[in-house]
Amino acid sequence: MKKIVMILLACVLGISVITNGQKAEASGETESELPTIELKDKGVILSGQTMLPIGQLFKELGLQLQFDPKQGNIGYTIGDIKVTAKLNVKSVSINGAKKLYTVPPQLIEGKLMLPLRMITDTLNAKTTVDYTRPINEKTKPISYVMLTTSAKKVIIFINNAYETYKKYIGKTVWIHSYRVQMKLTELDGTPTKSVHNLSQVKIIKVESDELITGWVDVYFTYQNKTYKIKSLHTEDFQKVISTVNPYKTFNFPSSSWKLIENSQVRVGMTGKMLELSWDKPDRILNSGNHTVTWIYDIAPPKLFIYVTLKNGAVTSYSLEEK
């Protein structure tokens, strides 16, 4: 009797395996074989919620989106699911039923973005969230979101820096470029020397690094051209980006400003001029008799610049190799 039961069970299992195999074959490609698309536009984190650029996402998925920016009306239909929403309104209608989301649909950096939760509630897709490598155990920013449908995988990278730095977007600032000379590039990554020290620029975007937290790319316009500072550490952001006009703060002669703009140092410059031209030193040695030495670590542990100041003015400077 047991043998008969085992045979019957084996037959049932065999039929089940064949059926699943037939279903997989009928559906076409397996998930690992699906084409993968990376969106050019990035999502953001806002009030702890992931927001995705819906326009480009729907275009990649072949879906239709109705959006009237003047009236703020948003609508789309996926299969038998009909969605209507309003710009900056948390209440969304899904098949006539109201649902509230923590963060409403809104325009961010000129793009319509919807909460990830709203998208997953209405889109038949598997959602995978990947995290960047954290600085510590308390930080776990999202690197990207991947939506997998029956036809393709769509990856949307997330700009975790948006909420922190959005107050700078569209603002006029002055770039202290001495410390980021090797990081200043054109959009294609070509190094540039077109942006002098203390150039007045306009910030247009700040994006987090896609792989590791604590680093950002800063995009800005200068003389009608867009540039970027690649991989700026967040701790250095306010050292490099100033919202205060130095030309109104300090009354220096034009000859001194010229030196500062070219990141040059000359005997007779004051400590403040030196700081604006280069930066605050990495270390200061006090030699007494109103004399100090500012030390800049150029390529430690071997290469350093020593600048001696007496009574607050530069008396000598030298590049030394240890």
b/e for 243-261, b at 16 or more Cβ within 10 A? eeebeeeeebeeebbebbe
- The pLDDT of residue 186: 96
181, 300: one domain: no
Residue 294 maps to a domain: yes
What does pTM read for this prediction? 0.81
Cis (ω within 30 of 0) for the bond into 281? no
Domain closes at, from 160, 176, 209: 160
Distances in Å between the alpha carbon of 170 and those of 204, 220, 224, 238? 6, 9, 14, 16
For 135, the token pair is: 């600085």
CATH number at residue 287: 3.30.1450.10
179 & 237 share domain: yes
Q: Identify the domain boundary among 133, 160, 187.
A: 160
pLDDT by 10s per residue, the chain, length 322: 444 434 333 333 333 332 233 333 334 567 778 999 999 999 999 999 999 999 999 999 999 999 999 999 999 999 999 999 999 999 999 999 999 999 999 999 899 999 999 999 999 899 999 987 655 555 568 889 999 999 999 999 999 999 999 999 999 999 999 889 899 999 999 999 999 999 999 999 999 987 778 899 999 999 999 999 999 999 999 999 999 999 999 999 999 999 999 999 999 999 999 999 999 999 999 999 999 999 999 888 889 999 999 999 999 999 998 8
Are residues 82 and 184 located together in one domain of the fold? Answer: no
Alpha-carbon gap, residue 93 to 98, rounded angstroms: 5
The per-residue pLDDT for 213 is 81
Note whether 303 and 197 are same-domain residues.
Answer: no
Chosen domain end from 191, 211, 242: 242
End-to-end distance of the chain based on CA atoms, in angstroms?
A: 89
Q: Are residues 168 and 156 part of one domain? A: no
Instruction: Based on the fold, state whether residues 112 and 154 are members of the same structural domain.
Output: yes
Is residue 2 one of the residues assigned to a domain? no
Question: What does the alpha-carbon distance between residue 6 and residue 4 come to, in Å, rounded to a whole number?
Answer: 5
Q: 37 and 132 share a domain?
A: yes
The answer as to whether 16 is a domain residue is no
CA distance 74 to 59: 15
Q: 38 with 114, same domain?
A: yes
Q: Are 144 and 169 contained in the same domain?
A: no
Domain count of the fold of the chain: 3
Q: In one letter, which amino acid is 316? A: S
Enclosing domain of residue 56: 33-160
According to the model, what pLDDT value does residue 4 have? 41
Give the pLDDT of residue 135: 53
pLDDT of amino acid 85: 98
- Is residue 56 located within the same domain as residue 136? yes
Co-location of 111 and 169 in the same domain:
no
Please check whether residues 115 and 130 belong to one and the same domain.
Answer: yes
* 254 belongs to a structural domain: no
| pLDDT at residue 12 in the model | 35
- The pLDDT of residue 209 is 82
